């Protein structure tokens, strides 16, 4: 059953429904969840309309795919519609533009980063009966599919759907990490939907933190904690963000939760002092 956004719900409420612990990872509606992320920036975004846009792309691909088509033919059809006809491409001019992380903007502007282009590609592929998996290689997101004999093929959507080899992946790692990171087998293993969503959110969080856009980073961390509510580092990150934007009560509560989760952390004494200082400030305000 397709997810339907409730008229008065918030992005966080919808996201919590979509990624709740009662939902198996493979049952998560990835597309609806990605559009729920977009609603932190576009609260009035119509999720159903956005999903319909992806459905229409899939219909166009499906018209090019004959019954029992070879996987390479399906990849050709996907690449033809998405990259040749629609001209989706990687945003090399402004890679760290936060708009690259919002799939509605990717659909509008036809540019994105590896993970958002990959999500679009795999969701179109799924709709034509061609399941693909995300591959969370460090620094660069890929896709993978398996043929009938179980052999896997890697696709780089950022490179217009090019089929890539492990050697190509090592070259990409060399570009990103100046030759300091050797390719490991686990770099090319499939990742789950919660991991994909977390990677989207972590990318967005990093962009906002680097630009000191703390008010924008805060709802992003809220969504990360919706997936992993017991993540000490994310609880601490939210505490710092709340403090930065003047949310003292929420900040001190997060700092104290962090201490409960990680009482032996290397920064525990510093955090205790910070929490105590905030409580004193709050007391003086009353």
Indicate the pairing of strand 111-112 with strand 89-90: parallel
Question: How far is the C-alpha of 31 from the C-alpha of 114, rounded, in Å?
Answer: 16
* Predicted local distance difference test score (pLDDT) of residue 1: 40
Q: Hey, how many other C-beta atoms are within 10 angstroms of the C-beta on 194? A: 16
Q: What parts of the chain have a pLDDT lower than 50?
A: 1-2, 4, 6-7
Q: Cα–Cα distance between 170 and 142 in angstroms, integer?
A: 13
The pLDDT value given to residue 83: 98
pLDDT of residue 187: 97
d(CA 282, CA 286): 7
Per-domain residue ranges of the chain:
11-193, 230-285
Query: What pTM was computed for the model?
Result: 0.94
Do the beta carbons of residue 11 and residue 197 sit within 8 Å? no
DSSP 152: E
Per the listing, tokens 């201490």 go with 259
- What pLDDT is stored for residue 8 in this prediction? 61
Q: Under a CB-based contact definition with an 8 Å cutoff, are residues 205 and 182 in contact?
A: no
Name 284's Cβ contacts closer than 8 Å, sequence gap at least 6. none
pLDDT of the residue at 273? 97
Q: Counting Cβ atoms within 10 Å, is residue 185 exposed (0-12), middle (13-18) or buried (19+)?
A: exposed
Distance CA 129, CA 77 (A): 13
Q: Please say whether the beta carbons of 154 and 143 come within 8 A.
A: yes
Residues 67-86 have pLDDT tens digits of: 888 999 999 999 999 999 99
Q: Give bridge partners of residue 90 from the DSSP assignment.
A: 112
**Domain 11-193, second-level architecture:** Roll (3.10)
């Amino acid at each position: 059953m397709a997810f339907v956004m409730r008229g008065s719900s918030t992005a966080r409420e919808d996201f919590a429904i979509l990624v709740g612990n009662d939902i198996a990872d493979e049952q998560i509606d990835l597309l609806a969840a990605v559009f729920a992320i977009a609603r932190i920036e576009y609260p009035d975004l119509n999720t159903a309309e956005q999903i319909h846009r992806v459905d229409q792309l899939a219909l166009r691909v499906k018209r090019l795919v004959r019954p029992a088509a070879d996987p390479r033919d399906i990849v050709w059809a996907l690449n033809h519609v998405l990259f040749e006809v629609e001209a989706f491409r990687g945003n090399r001019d402004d890679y760290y533009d936060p708009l690259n992380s919002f799939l509605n903007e990717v659909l509008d502007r036809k540019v994105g980063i590896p993970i958002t282009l990959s999500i679009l590609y795999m969701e179109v592929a799924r709709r034509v009966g061609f399941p693909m998996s995300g591959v969370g290689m460090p620094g660069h997101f890929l896709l993978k599919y398996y043929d009938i004999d179980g052999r896997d093929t890697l696709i780089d959507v950022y490179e217009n759907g090019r089929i890539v080899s492990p050697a190509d992946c090592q070259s990409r790692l060399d570009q990103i990490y100046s030759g300091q990171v050797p390719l490991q087998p686990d770099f090319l293993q499939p990742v789950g939907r919660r991991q994909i969503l977390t990677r989207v959110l972590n990318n967005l969080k990093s962009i906002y933190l680097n630009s000191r856009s703390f008010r924008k980073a805060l709802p992003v961390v809220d969504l990360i904690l919706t997936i992993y509510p017991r993540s000490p580092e994310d609880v601490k990150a939210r505490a710092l963000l709340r403090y930065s934007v003047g949310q003292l009560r929420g900040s001190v509560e997060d700092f104290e939760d962090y201490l409960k989760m990680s009482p032996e952390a290397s920064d525990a004494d510093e955090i205790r002092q910070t929490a105590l200082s905030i409580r004193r400030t709050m007391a003086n305000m009353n």
